[in-house]
Copies of this chain bind each other. A is one copy, B any other.
Amino acid sequence: MSAVWGNKIKITIFGESHSEAIGIVIDNLPAGATLDMDEIKREMARRAPNGGEFSTPRKEGDEVEIVSGYFDGKTTGTPLCGIIRNTNTRSKDYSMFKVVFRPGHSDYGYFLKSGGNNDYRGGGHSSGRLTAPIVFCGAVCKQLLREKGVKVGSHIMSIADIKDGMFGVDIDGDKLENLTKEVFPLLDKNKFEPMRKIIADARNEGDSVGGTIECAVTGLQGGIGEPFFESVESRLASLLFSVPAVKGVQFGKGYELSKMKGSQANDPFEFKDGNVVTKTNNNGGILGGISTGMPIVFNVAIKPTASIFKEQNSVNINSKENTKLKIQGRHDSCIVVRAVPVIEAVAAIAIYDFLR
């Protein structure tokens, strides 16, 4: 397993859905930074299940205890460890998944990796719950980025086949931060009702839907990125694909670029107020793996929640027989909404790792 990520900062994640605790150690933060604990709580609340319409009925406190690296209201520069106790867990729900693997989940993979010694309760280490420490870390990085003039925000770009718009070349940081205050961030608010309905319909059917999230980072200077192997895209993608359920990543216009001609795809340079900018931003603020000074723009595909309440085909690894399985319990019928702060968090972490 590889629980450590980062070059300038190093983050180490730990925990399972039903272990005593989950948490994260953030190494090499600057000393002397005051963290806004209220903002951290708000970010945690965006991700936490709250029993609301777009969330599982179970509630998780997700209170982070900082046990090191913070003294007299400031970071000390030594490893900052944040711990979240697991409290509201119902382990009995999961016992059968030890031998009957849930389709779309990692149960089988962990079974193979661990020789059957994995903590199968609630998805164990691959539970979406592990994104809680990621959001905590992202909240820390967002604060440190803001001091450097860098802001991060995102919107739901689609739910199932219902599309919101896309960020324009003129996206600005304040607008991004406003989006982070919304429960269901959209560019076109008219899309809320149809999206809400398609999620509700899936829930009523015992099924689930996926979607896409577009995220932007403004204020990032040009010249950031470390090719050959650590392009801005590589670093962002490596973290984005660590987030459960992410199955695709595009930068700028992404796959649309593959259909354009070079004369359309190339973003022409020009001077604007004495600065070099590009007239369009098809490449999402990154050329040759290096930032251009334009907003970093990317989007991700989130697959539908793997936990559905319909009967599914699976195998019983003990009896070596095919079997049927029906998942009980409490699960989101669409995780896209709660994934929004997670995507922003990993964007903030990846970008801050370049700038630290």
Interface residues of A (CB under 8 A from B): 1-5, 7, 10, 12-16, 19-23, 25, 27-28, 31-32, 65-72, 74-81, 83, 101, 103-106, 108-110, 112-119, 121, 123-126, 130, 158, 160-161, 202, 205, 207-212, 221-223, 225-231, 233-235, 237-242, 244, 246-255, 257-271, 274, 276, 278-279, 283-284, 287-292, 301-308, 310, 312-315, 317, 320-322
- Jot down 14 A-B pairs with beta carbons below 8 A, ordered by A: A1-B27, A3-B27, A31-B113, A77-B113, A77-B117, A105-B288, A109-B289, A113-B290, A227-B242, A230-B242, A233-B241, A248-B258, A257-B301, A271-B315
- Which B residues are in CB contact (< 8 Å) with A313? 268-270, 279
Contact B14 A28 (CB under 8 A): no
- In the bound assembly, the distance between CA atoms of A221 and B212 in angstroms comes to 30
User: Quick check: A117 and B229 within 8 Å, CB to CB?
Assistant: no
Q: A108-B222, A247-B250, A292-B108 are in contact. Are A303 and B25 (CB under 8 A)?
A: no
Cβ–Cβ contact A266 & B306, under 8 A: yes
Report whether B27 and A2 are in contact in the complex, using a CB–CB cutoff of 8 Å: yes
Task: List chain B residues, Cβ under 8 A from A247.
Answer: 233, 250-255, 257-258, 283-284
Given A268-B312, A320-B274, check contact A14 B79 (CB 8 Å): yes
User: Quick check: A312 and B83 within 8 Å, CB to CB?
Assistant: no
Set B12, B114, B303: member contacting A79, Cβ < 8 A: B12
Instruction: Tell me whether B15 and A12 are in contact (CB under 8 A).
Output: no
Q: How far is the CA of A21 from the CA of B65 in the complex (A)?
A: 10
A65 to chain B, nearest CB (A): 7
B1 touches A25 (CB 8 A): no
Instruction: Flag if A242 contacts B248 (CB, 8 Å).
Output: no
Q: CB-nearest residue of chain B relative to A75? A: B117
Residues from chain B with Cβ under 8 Å of A123 in the complex: 288
User: CA separation between A289 and B77, bound complex, in Å?
Assistant: 15
Please give, as numbers and ranges, the residues of chain B lying within 8 Å of A226 by CB-CB distance. Answer: 1-2, 28
Q: Which residue of B lies closest to A336 (CB)?
A: B258
Determine which of B10, B234, B288 lies in contact with A12 in the assembled complex, contact meaning CB atoms within 8 Å: B10
Chain B residues near A269 (CB-CB < 8 A): 101, 103, 108, 313-315
Does the CB pair B16–A158 fall under 8 Å? no
What residues of chain B lie closer than 8 Å to A75, measured between beta carbons?
117
- Evaluate whether A69 and B258 lie within 8 angstroms (CB atoms) in the complex, with A117-B32, A308-B266 already known: no
Cross-chain contact B67 with A15 (CB below 8 angstroms)? yes
Q: Are B258 and A158 in contact (CB under 8 A)?
A: yes
Complex CA–CA separation, A312 to B290 (angstroms): 21
Q: Indicate if the CB atoms of B119 and A202 lie closer than 8 Å.
A: no
| A125 neighbours in B (Cβ, 8 Å) | 76, 78-79, 227-228
**Residues of chain B with a CB closer than 8 A to A231's CB:** 241-242
Please state if B3 and A77 are interface contacts (CB–CB under 8 Å): no
A68 touches which one: B20, B303, B315, B322 (CB < 8 A)? B20
Evaluate contact between A106 and B288: CB separation under 8 angstroms: yes
